[in-house]
Amino acid sequence: MILGVGTDLCSIARLSESLERTPNLAQRLFHPSELGLPVNSLAARFAAKEALAKALGNPRLMQWVEIEIVKDELGKPGFVLHGQTAKNLESVGVQRIHLSLSHEQELASAFVVVEAS
């Protein structure tokens, strides 16, 4: 069954300014494997994590750095959950998370559907 649906938009320029203004922000928001990606990719990942929080309905279940967005061999994006975040989502019955990402010059967007038992 569907536990929740979430969507988010992220301004690429605004995220870039925030990352420049606050040097440690990237380490608080992104998994180590995501650091160093271009800002448009980071904006899409930020939107994905926001959309996941909205779909879950409880952002306290997740730590942003424990959420990694990866692509499969065909380029389809997905989540890899680590640490306490993985345990928390398992404890509330999350079985599958669907993710769609997009970005243009100014905006990145994400759409998330969370399935649970």
φ, ψ dihedrals at 32, nearest 5°: -50, -35
Contact between 109 and 103 (Cβ < 8 Å): yes
Rounded to an integer, what distance in angstroms lies between the CA atom of residue 3 and that of residue 24?
33
Rounded to an integer, what distance in angstroms lies between the CA atom of residue 22 and that of residue 20?
6
Q: Is 50 annotated as a binding-site member?
A: yes
What residues contact residue 8 under an 8 Å CB cut-off, 6+ apart? 46, 47, 48, 50, 51, 54, 109, 110
Q: Is 72 annotated as a binding-site member?
A: no
Going by the annotation, the residues of the binding site for Mg(2+) are: 8, 50
Which segments are annotated as binding site?
A: 8, 50
